Amino acid sequence: MIASDDVLKSLRARDFENTGHGPLYRRLQTALKGIIDDGILKVEDALPSERDLATELGISRVTVRNAVRALVDDGVLVQRHGAGTFVAPRVEQALSRLTSFTEDMTTRGMNPGAVWLEKSVGYATPEEAMALNLSPGTEVARFRRLRTANDKPMALEFAVVPKQFIPTPEDVDKSLYDALAKNGKKPDRALQRLRAELFDSDTARILGVPEGSAALYIERRSFLANGTPVEFTRSHYRGDSYDFIAEMQVDAR
């Protein structure tokens, strides 16, 4: 666990009082977030107390409290009654294995959840038809939902599946892959494309993060064992709560 003196030294070095724009608590919030992003404060490290931060930095406790509260609201910090404030854990997902969000959260001891925003049937758009190798005018089932872990918003997901694989969208409960498996159509492999983005106002509002904050955009095409496309999903993950891990083989040449 990092010493409080190291945190204070790092904050002073950032000279947050005299740099940046906006209210002082926002500048302190940015400085604290920077320390976490740079790995100076790591997951489960404790933050110095509000009193220590205020006294040592020469600012008011209200300023510290507002900065800490904003980081708690963003999911960067977590407060534990009687214990203090800690750097919140991040979810890590391996890119080498195809799993559902439900399975990922369950294996990490977290309670997966979903707030359904859309379950519908319609005709495939040109982009969807191309991704799923469908003929124009083919019917598809669409699923849009907010994914949560321990009731914390984690991702906004929009999935499209050929209607022949999910005849009745309302049959899908928590896991799309479970529903596909019941129909004998669970994906065998997938291709994913990832890129960094910034949340627009609508997506940020749904996920409860500031507009313009970091997002991971993931586009996935999943296939049956025979190569038939079965799923086309576009997701926006919170950049402050989700890490994707890739294991690579070293070329000995």
Mean pLDDT, residues 216-234 taken together? 92
Residue 8: predicted pLDDT: 84
Q: pLDDT category, 242, cuts 50, 70, 90?
A: low
Residue 2: predicted pLDDT: 45
Higher pLDDT, 185 or 251: 185
Mean pLDDT, residues 85-113 taken together? 66
Low-confidence winner among 121-125, 179-183, 207-211, 238-242 (lowest mean pLDDT): 238-242
Distance CA 114, CA 81 (A): 27
Percent of the residues in the chain that have a pLDDT greater than 90, as a whole number? 34
Higher pLDDT, 209 or 140: 140
Distance CA 188, CA 177 (A): 11
Residue 1: predicted pLDDT: 39
Distance CA 95, CA 97 (A): 6
Residue pair 105/149 in contact by the 8 Å Cβ criterion: yes
* Mean confidence (pLDDT) of the chain: 83
Mean pLDDT, residues 39-49 taken together? 84
Mean pLDDT, residues 58-62 taken together? 92
Residue 125: predicted pLDDT: 93
Angle between helices 4-13 and 50-57 (to 10 degrees): 40
